[in-house]
């Protein structure tokens, strides 16, 4: 599958079927973060039910230092 | 006690988390400041670097109220989106509305700030807009229902202190919500001065993170804000042009 994550084209393994698995593939499933899929912000508890399809666009954001 | 919306705080210092030399110094500076509110920015994660340290874990954020900013937004729409992303973390419902209208001065766009604040209030956020020291804009923001007003002392990161004390004092006098002086503070006397003028709190970042000794400056800011607030409550004497003796004029041993 080809997806866009944070502006970059990324090949996602076909066995990854939901957002939780996508995060786990990058070792981020337990990090404090927020996922937006195709412009819709996801609640954390919905990650496991949110399917991934070819062409999906994701924004994965977190908190960084700022004033 | 500083009350912002449904929140109450002992500390009147709000501390930013940007540009510290390293996490260890940041952690010690945050502790030394005795702040209860930390500001953050929302940014894309580097998903290809799993080893990157997590700022929130480093700081044990459960001990603090988080105030994410919408820095990077140039329109109300962008600010609202960033605020919603921050809230979806489940860690906060406060937001510092920051919509920059000028790249050189980093001064806020008043029109977009007003629009973003209105939208975020409808969405149920606790809204703290970063504004210029415009007195009428501050009033209009309050009329919308914002939970605090955060006028800049001077341009962000400039360290110039309070440029327009008159405007700031007008904003403070008219406000029925907390006024938190945000941005432009350079040293402890600036923060103390803001509090002496009657501000309810001070939000600063670079003044601490960029100091030669950020931990010591964090302590200085903590103390100056407490001192300035006490002086405001105590009520200062009027300034006079000429001297007034403090020792009695009677009973002098010389004639």
Q: Hunting for tokens 């010591």 — which residue is that?
A: B216
Q: Is the pLDDT of residue B236 over 90?
A: yes
Q: Average pLDDT in the B51-59 region?
A: 76
- The more confidently predicted of residues B52 and B10 is B10
Q: Is the pLDDT of residue A47 over 80?
A: yes
Which residues pair with residue B16 across a beta bridge? B39
Task: Please enumerate in sequence order all residues whose Cβ is within 8 A of that of B58, keeping only pairs 6 or more positions apart, or say none.
Answer: B23, B26, B27
Whole-number pLDDT of residue B46: 87
Write the residue in B17, B56, B183 that is nearest to A66 by C-beta. B17
CA distance B210 to B52: 22
Residues of B with CB under 8 A from a CB of A: 16-20, 26, 39-45, 47-48, 50, 54-57, 66, 68-69, 71, 84-86, 88-91, 156-157, 183, 203-206
* 3-state SS, one letter per residue, for A4-64: EECCEEEECCCCCCEHHHHHHHCCCCCCCCEEEECCEECCHHHHHHCECCCCCEEEEEEEE
B17 is in an annotated binding site: no
Write down the mean pLDDT value for chain A. 94
Whole-number pLDDT of residue B49: 79
Answer yes or no: do B85 and A44 touch at CB < 8 A. no
B210 is in an annotated binding site: no
CA distance B185 to B153: 7
Q: Average pLDDT in the A4-31 region?
A: 94
CA distance readout (Å), B172 to B23, B150, B178, B186, B210: 35, 10, 8, 21, 28
Whole-number pLDDT of residue B233: 98
Q: Hunting for tokens 């500083």 — which residue is that?
A: B2
Q: Are A34 and A27 in contact (CB under 8 A)?
A: no
Q: Average pLDDT in the B167-191 region?
A: 98
Burial call B109-143: b when 16+ CB within 10 Å, e when fewer: bbebbbbbbbbbbeeebbbbbbbbbbbebbebbbe
Write down the mean pLDDT value for chain B. 95
Whole-number pLDDT of residue B173: 98
CA distance B129 to B116: 9
Whole-number pLDDT of residue B57: 77
CA distance B201 to B229: 9
Q: Average pLDDT in the B82-94 region?
A: 95
Helix (H) or strand (E) holding B80: helix B76-87
DSSP 8-state code for residue B74:
-
Above pLDDT 70, what percent of chain A? 100
Whole-number pLDDT of residue B95: 98
Q: Average pLDDT in the B15-21 region?
A: 95
Q: At how many degrees (to 10) do helices B214-234 and B23-33 cross?
A: 20
Whole-number pLDDT of residue B112: 98
Q: Hunting for tokens 């899929």 — which residue is that?
A: A37
CA distance B13 to B6: 18
**B96 catalytic, yes or no?**
yes
Q: Average pLDDT in the B42-65 region?
A: 83
CA distance A1 to A10: 8
Q: Are B40 and B14 in contact (CB under 8 A)?
A: no
Please compute, for residue B94, the number of CA atoms within 13 A of its CA located in the half-sphere on the CB side.
23
pLDDT level of residue B10 (50, 70, 90 thresholds)? very high
pTM surpassing 0.90?
yes
Q: Is the pLDDT of residue B156 over 90?
A: yes
The token pair that represents A57 in the structure block: 């666009």
- The more confidently predicted of residues A28 and B129 is B129
Please report the sign of the dihedral spanned by the C-alpha atoms of residue B74, residue A4, residue B41, residue B22.
Answer: negative
Residue B23, φ and ψ in degrees, nearest 5: -65, -35
The token pair that represents B63 in the structure block: 């001990």
Q: How far is B64 from chain A (nearest CA, A)?
A: 14
Q: How far is B82 from chain A (nearest CA, A)?
A: 10
């Amino acid at each position: 599958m080809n997806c866009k994550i944070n502006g970059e084209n990324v090949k996602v393994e076909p066995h990854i079927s939901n957002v939780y698995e996508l995060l786990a593939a990058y070792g981020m499933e337990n990090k404090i973060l927020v996922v937006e899929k195709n412009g819709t912000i996801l609640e954390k508890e919905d990650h496991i039910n949110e399917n991934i399809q070819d062409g999906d666009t994701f924004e994965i954001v977190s908190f960084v230092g700022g004033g | 006690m500083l009350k912002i919306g449904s929140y109450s705080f002992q500390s009147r210092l709000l501390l930013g988390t940007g540009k510290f030399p390293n996490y260890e110094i940041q952690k010690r500076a945050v502790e030394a400041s005795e702040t209860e509110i930390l500001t953050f920015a929302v940014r894309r994660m580097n998903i290809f670097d799993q080893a990157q340290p997590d700022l929130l874990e480093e700081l044990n954020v459960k001990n603090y109220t988080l105030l994410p900013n919408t820095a990077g937004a140039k329109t109300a729409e962008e600010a609202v989106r960033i605020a919603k992303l921050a809230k979806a973390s489940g860690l906060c419902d406060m937001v510092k509305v920051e919509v920059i209208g000028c790249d050189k001065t980093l001064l806020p766009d008043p029109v977009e700030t007003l629009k973003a604040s209105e939208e975020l209030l409808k969405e149920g956020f606790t809204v703290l807009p970063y504004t210029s020291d415009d007195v009428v804009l501050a009033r209009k923001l309050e009329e919308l229902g914002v939970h605090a007003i955060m006028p800049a002392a001077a341009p962000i990161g400039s360290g110039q202190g309070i440029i327009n004390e008159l405007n700031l004092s007008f904003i403070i006098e008219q406000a029925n919500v907390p006024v938190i002086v945000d941005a432009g503070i350079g040293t402890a006397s600036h923060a103390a001065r803001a509090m002496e003028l009657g501000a309810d709190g001070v939000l600063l970042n670079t003044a601490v993170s960029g100091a030669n000794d950020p931990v010591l400056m964090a302590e200085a800011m903590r103390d100056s804000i407490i001192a300035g607030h006490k002086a405001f409550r105590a009520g200062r004497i009027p300034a006079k042009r000429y001297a007034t003796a403090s020792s009695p004029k009677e009973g002098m041993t010389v004639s």
